[in-house]
Structure 1
Amino acid sequence: MKKNVWIGNLIAVLCIVIGLVAWIMLPWQGVLGIVVLLALWLALTGTGRVALAATRIGIASLPQRWGASSVIIVGIAGVVGVLVAMLAMGAGFEATLKQTGNDTTAILLRGGSQAETNSVITRDQSPLIGSLPGIAKDAQGRAVISPELSQVVNLPTASSGEDANAQFRGVSDAAWAIRPNIRIVEGRKFNVGVREIVVGQGAKGQYRGLDVGKTIKLGNQDWTIVGVFAAGDAFDSELWTDIETLSSAYDRRAYQSITVGLDGKEGFAQLKAALDNDPRLKLDAQTTQDYYSKQTQQLTIIIKALSIVIGAIMAIGAVFGALNTMYAAVAGRAREIATMRAIGFRGLPVVMAVMLETMLLALLGGVLGGLVAWAIFNGYSVATLGSNFSQVVFQFKVTPELLWSGLKWALGIGLVGGLFPALRAARLPITQALRAI
């Protein structure tokens, strides 16, 4: 007998878990369909109208139980707020790197390299690359290519003063033409052959001592900050200088990547075919859009997984809070529920009344949690390690999709938290409850 009860409970839990997963994955059209069907049932059927009347009675008594009901609202708001905030971090990081590239430029790396840090391109390959088909030409007929070198340096963070990695990029003059979205917003561009730096506005906010006119020591040499640029993407986190000056300062004799402008829609296909057919160039080409999108995948997956795990743990706590609160509410309203049963309210309307009441409280908690997450975290700037082991500055991005996901989590918690108390209310012995009157 005990074994059968245990198996029955296990099956019930599995059904609830499967139902919750299906609910969380349900698109908005499915949710809308369920809401419409529920509304039609409540409005057009006798049982539904009775359930709606019972729900009104329960909602009318909420002010008398506001302290207990607030436990559900606050608990679910906490779950939704944390979940949305963590997902917003992943969405912000992903959006920043995806904005960095486009399909009109390509980046060349050594064959098999996944990032600039493990790529080496010899200097004698640069003229060969410039002669390949598919690469755009400037007004003077020169290939639009920018050999680049990346050096990770340590700079004190603005918040704590502790050292953190920053990306110090050496670029050619063509880098500005290849990335027309990057513009100087303060000061001027660096001069070639001089130890001068321009810094991204994100880096300026993230690290100390990067104001225009100041001098910093990098590679045992003094460098002068002469300008600040705005990119609106991952380059905002970098420091830029002349590639030959950087190469000399750090004794780097090779390039790490070469970024090129593409000649029209067919440019990338032509360039890739030419690289495949030239045995002297063992290089891989990707559009910069593809390259930077791939850099987000691993971290985004980790953030989403952590968000779901942490959200699930908190959701379990919120479910138990809702269960306790609703069980207490059912016990406190035993006479009221028994009276409703005695005057003709059947079990299903009572179940629906308790469920709708719990879902209403869950909805309030979900809305509250989403609003708090949006107010505090949307646009909040942070930094994390990117693929080049340097800090990437980005902003949390609380999107409507994330708020909708948080709201579905809230309603799912309310569904589970109200189900068992609702069933208990429907099974409440009428005569026993009425004796207490």
Structure 2
Amino acid sequence: MKNQWMRNALSIVLLAVGLGVWIFLPWYGVLAVAVGVAAWLLATRTGRLALAATRIGIASLPQRWGASSVIIVGIAGVVGVLVAMLAMGEGFSATLKQTGSDDTAIILRGGSQAETNSVIMRDQVPLIGTLAGIRKDASGKPILSPELSQIVNLPTASTGEDANAQFRGVSEAAWAIRPQVKLIEGRKFNVGVRELVVGQGAKNQYRGLDLGKKLKLGNQEWTVVGVFASGDAHDSELWTDIETLASAYDRRAYQSVTVGVDGKPGFKQLTAALAADPRLKLDAMTTRDYYTKQSTGLTTIIKVLGTVIGAIMAIGAVFGALNTMYAAVAGRAREIATMRAIGFRGTPVVMAVMLETMLLALLGGLLGGLLAWSIFNGYSVATLGANFSQVVFQFKVSPELLWSGLKWALGIGLVGGLFPALRAAQLPVTAALRAS
């Protein structure tokens, strides 16, 4: 009894390890496995017998369609939820990664990880403008934009409940530093006037941000004079003149300075110049690196959560597949016994049941992937970013996620079909024929 228990435990451990390897196997590894199995099926007598037995099983699927649909629907649910969860992380990460570039850099107080805990004194900005590596405009002035980030509460469009929005104060140079930001409605704000422009994502996420609307922020009335689109995290922001914002919220220092740099060589010059100047205890990173780091934490949490939820659902789908396939084997006992009696050995029978289950799993995976893509791809949502403000982004159902979902589906089919397949191969021929 103890030895049997040990063998069962070892089998489960080996199966779990094999599944883990399968899930993380790259596409060329999966292709190699598929080519190897196909070659075995076509080139060997046992393989051809397995194919013949599989055709018999597939031909009887219409008579067992109700039970077989349990496998397909269960696996489709697992794949759909898994892909949807991972698509959320993929979309959030892609939005923040698109926000930055290697041609711009953000300067923060030394040791600061985000704008919210950074302070840059006003008298440091002219010194920053003299540093090497910063691009110059046509008139020879350094391209830099000191900026402030103020968190404000705005009612959401869906529920009317207050949510954090990022109200950014920028200089005129911000438009040149971020050429992807384009006005699609109205005009730019005027300097020294309580006017603002809003990202298209923020306009859709919050109430009262239509062109010409007035809203109260910082106990003052502001007018929406423009709407912009950027295709990145700035779509979730409100922009105004930095000095107007500083006056409204009594901010006597800046939080960051965004500058244009001459590519990677210019960025290296900038970081070296910052390190060499004892008056500037500041750090710089490319905006691409900055926004990528901002997305890392939440993306990791979403991926882990999605994988855990997918794994829990996968266990349920495995048990559903086991029950269905055990019932199918029991219902086909006479058919399987007849095949065994006319020369089909254990291996072809095992492979036939496995291939049938894997086919149903593949159909479930395709269905789940199709549902996830049709429902969630491009679906807009908002979540709290690293600056404690809402970031509007879209789910991104990529081919890589769909491929991962298919591998999960086939893994579930593998486990769900293995033990019923072994049961079919061990079915006593004479007993099965008499019982039928």
Q: TM-score range, shorter-chain basis?
A: over 0.9
* Distance in 1, Cα, partners of 2:63 & 2:232: 52
What does residue 333 of structure 2 align with? Answer: 334
What is the Cα deviation at residue 8 of structure 1?
A: 1.2
What does residue 311 of structure 2 align with? Answer: 312
* Distance in 2, Cα, partners of 1:394 & 1:212: 22
What is the Cα deviation at residue 264 of structure 1?
A: 4.3
Summarize deviations over 1:86-126 as a string: whole Å, max 9, x none. 00000000000000000000000000000000000000000
One-letter code aligned to 1:367: L
Q: Residues 291-302 of structure 1: matches in 2 within 5 Å?
A: 291-302=290-301
One-letter code aligned to 2:376: F
Summarize deviations over 1:151-178 as a string: whole Å, max 9, x none. 0000000000000000000000000000
Q: Any unmatched runs of 5+ in structure 2?
A: none
Which secondary structure does the structure 2 equivalent of 1:297 belong to?
helix
What is the Cα deviation at residue 330 of structure 1?
A: 0.2
Q: Residues 13-412 of structure 1: matches in 2 within 5 Å?
A: 13-412=12-411
Q: Residues 408-419 of structure 1: matches in 2 within 5 Å?
A: 408-419=407-418
Summarize deviations over 1:374-413 as a string: whole Å, max 9, x none. 0000000000000100000000000000000000000000
* Distance in 2, Cα, partners of 1:283 & 1:262: 16
One-letter code aligned to 2:33: I
- What's the C-alpha RMSD, in Å, of the aligned pairs? 0.6
One-letter code aligned to 1:236: D
* Distance in 1, Cα, partners of 2:104 & 2:134: 9
Which secondary structure does the structure 2 equivalent of 1:223 belong to?
strand
One-letter code aligned to 2:214: T
- Tell me the matched-pair count: 436
Which secondary structure does the structure 1 equivalent of 2:30 belong to?
helix
Could you tell me the percent identity over the aligned residues? 80
Indicate conservation of the 8 Å contact 2:201/2:235, yes or no. yes
Which secondary structure does the structure 2 equivalent of 1:266 belong to?
helix
Q: Any unmatched runs of 5+ in structure 1?
A: none
Which secondary structure does the structure 1 equivalent of 2:99 belong to?
coil
* Distance in 2, Cα, partners of 1:264 & 1:28: 35
What is the Cα deviation at residue 286 of structure 1?
A: 0.2
One-letter code aligned to 1:24: I
* Distance in 1, Cα, partners of 2:29 & 2:100: 35
* Distance in 2, Cα, partners of 1:213 & 1:399: 38
What is the Cα deviation at residue 5 of structure 1?
A: 1.7
What is the Cα deviation at residue 420 of structure 1?
A: 0.1
* Distance in 2, Cα, partners of 1:322 & 1:264: 55
Which secondary structure does the structure 2 equivalent of 1:422 belong to?
helix
* Distance in 2, Cα, partners of 1:139 & 1:265: 21
Which secondary structure does the structure 1 equivalent of 2:122 belong to?
coil
* Distance in 1, Cα, partners of 2:12 & 2:86: 27
Does 425-434 or 262-271 show the bigger shift?
262-271
One-letter code aligned to 2:73: V
Using structure 1 for the length normalisation, give the TM-score: 0.99
Summarize deviations over 1:282-315 as a string: whole Å, max 9, x none. 0000000000000111111101100110000000
Summarize deviations over 1:184-210 as a string: whole Å, max 9, x none. 000000000000010000000000010
Indicate conservation of the 8 Å contact 2:102/2:263, yes or no. no
What is the Cα deviation at residue 331 of structure 1?
A: 0.3
Summarize deviations over 1:338-389 as a string: whole Å, max 9, x none. 0111111100000000000000000000000000000000000000000100
Which secondary structure does the structure 2 equivalent of 1:199 belong to?
strand
Which secondary structure does the structure 2 equivalent of 1:99 belong to?
helix
What is the Cα deviation at residue 6 of structure 1?
A: 1.6
Summarize deviations over 1:41-80 as a string: whole Å, max 9, x none. 1111111110000000000000000000000000000000
Using structure 2 for the length normalisation, give the TM-score: 0.99
One-letter code aligned to 1:235: H
* Distance in 2, Cα, partners of 1:317 & 1:119: 48
* Distance in 1, Cα, partners of 2:5 & 2:124: 70
